[in-house]
Structure 1
Amino acid sequence: MATTTIPSLDHSGSFQAYRADPQRDPRGAIVVIQEIFGVNEGIRRKCDHFAALGYMAFAPDLFWRLEPAIELDPDVPAQFQQALDWMGKFDQDKGIEDIEATIRAARAASGGKVGVTGYCLGGRLAYMTAARTDSDATVGYYAVGIDSLLGEKHAIANPLMLHIAGDDHFVSKEIQATMHQGLDDHPKVTLHDYPGEDHGFATEMGKRRSDAAAELADSRTEAFFAAHIG
């Protein structure tokens, strides 16, 4: 497994990121933000897929300040509960700092633009990344709690795409409506709805995956990055 070490911006230490390299000169880089389950096999597969498309891909271990190298399986109930417990302890602001450090490392390594994509908790962090960093283009899947972050939308300067699961048991219909009310008129933001789909529908593996919706969302993401990253 290829990893790279990235120093934290606050000089408190360093963390590991899974890294996947393309077979040719990179067309840019993609930072993949984990779910609450850590940098597990599904997240590594996301990176490998982006590398196959010609990007350098990095998945930072965002839980390193709690415990390095957490890897959990969402299909195992006890591990799902562990993941929720870790999320409750996670400092999201420090997470954004670590994503920014990863963006800088990815930009230096690839010599090109850097896109960011995140899933679940990572979808929320992707929105925050779009508002707080210089990511060139950002995608969030089934982001949680965006209604509490709409006050930051004025800071989104580069393109952002959000994939919304229509029957997301973590994101109510009311919150989805609030997201649309707050973001539909934003010139840099595109929202896509997936009626009938639940949280986690675009995971690479496991019980949560919904093939047709995942393939549609991922095709939109790939076209988005091709347009804005290279």
Structure 2
Amino acid sequence: MTTQNVTIPASSGGMFSAYLAAPSTQPRAGIVLIQEVLGVNAIMRQTADNYAKEGYQVLVPDLYWRLEPGVQLDPEDKDQFAKAFELDRAFDVDSGIEDLKATLLFLRQYPSSTGKVGSVGFCSGGKLAYFMATRTDADANVSYYGVGIEKYLAEATKIQKPLLLHMGEEDEYVSPTAQATIQQGLKDNPLVTICRYAGVSHGFSRVGSTAYRQAAAELAHDRTLAFLRQHLG
């Protein structure tokens, strides 16, 4: 496996950086890995490395580059966690989706790519993974504890490729009402699979954090890998 930082041209002008983790095998399907509110921090880079070890070419774009390039925040530091939410409030979702489309194109055209590229997103990135399903032609998309999806269920009619949603039943940022709304809104869509995990809260797959819950995280990861292998190869 190799890692490097690459630069991607934005459709609106300018350039943004991304962390690339690539396996030694070829050819490779790709994953656009979408950051939490914490930026492209050590946890996201480790997650990218783990997927690369499974044979995927993984690219983690710096979606905060218009606000503050290179953000890397620690979820266990209260001040840094507060800054993460400030950045998230200032973040322009539509611009972020354009950057994700550019990242998707970059991966599809990258040497040794199979052309198959999906996305995996966490937290705010989980919502963006939902938008990858409704607003792009990514081949498969996975959302971990996506925040705010219930507000955008009208877009579900645009889903053309498989979407997997992981939700912790005790998620403090996605209420039981919101989860019920999401389930009700998506239950008749054959492209959508929803997995809920009892007794776990937001961030249950965030390795090294107090929110991490090993059993649920490993089950979700196994389901994600099976889903990606089915739809990306």
Match of 1:215 among 203, 207, 218: 218
Instruction: Give me the whole-angstrom Cα distance separating, in 1, the residues matched to 2:147 and 2:203.
Output: 11
Deviations 1:197-216 (A, max 9, x none): 10000112221111000000
Query: SS at 2:225's partner residue?
Result: helix
Cα distance, 1:26 vs structure 2? 3.5
Alignment of 1:6 onto 2:40: no
In the alignment, structure 1 segments of 5+ residues that lack a partner are none
In the alignment, structure 2 segments of 5+ residues that lack a partner are none
Q: Which stretch of the first structure deviates more once superposed, 18-27 or 137-146? A: 18-27
- Calculate the aligned-residue CA RMSD, in Å: 0.8
Structure 2 equivalent of residue 124 of structure 1: 127
Instruction: Give me the whole-angstrom Cα distance separating, in 1, the residues matched to 2:122 and 2:152.
Output: 17
User: Any conservation in 2 of the 1:26–1:56 contact (CA below 8 Å)?
Assistant: no
Cα distance, 1:161 vs structure 2? 0.3
Query: SS at 1:10's partner residue?
Result: coil
Structure 2 equivalent of residue 15 of structure 1: 16
Structure 1 equivalent of residue 114 of structure 2: 111
Instruction: Give me the whole-angstrom Cα distance separating, in 1, the residues matched to 2:96 and 2:73.
Output: 18
User: Any conservation in 2 of the 1:27–1:229 contact (CA below 8 Å)?
Assistant: no
Structure 1 equivalent of residue 78 of structure 2: 77
Instruction: Give me the whole-angstrom Cα distance separating, in 1, the residues matched to 2:38 and 2:211.
Output: 13
Structure 2 equivalent of residue 46 of structure 1: 47
Deviations 1:94-132 (A, max 9, x none): 111100100000111123200100000000000011100
Structure 1 segments of 4 or more deviating over 6 A? none
Structure 2 equivalent of residue 102 of structure 1: 103
Query: SS at 1:64's partner residue?
Result: coil
Percent identity over the alignment is 48
Cα distance, 1:136 vs structure 2? 0.2
Could you tell me which amino acid in structure 2 is paired with residue 211 of structure 1? Q
Deviations 1:19-44 (A, max 9, x none): 00101114300110000000001100
TM-score w.r.t. structure 2 length? 0.97
Structure 2 equivalent of residue 160 of structure 1: 163
Instruction: Give me the whole-angstrom Cα distance separating, in 2, the residues matched to 1:145 and 1:54.
Output: 31
Could you tell me which amino acid in structure 2 is paired with residue 220 of structure 1? R
Match of 1:185 among 188, 194, 206: 188
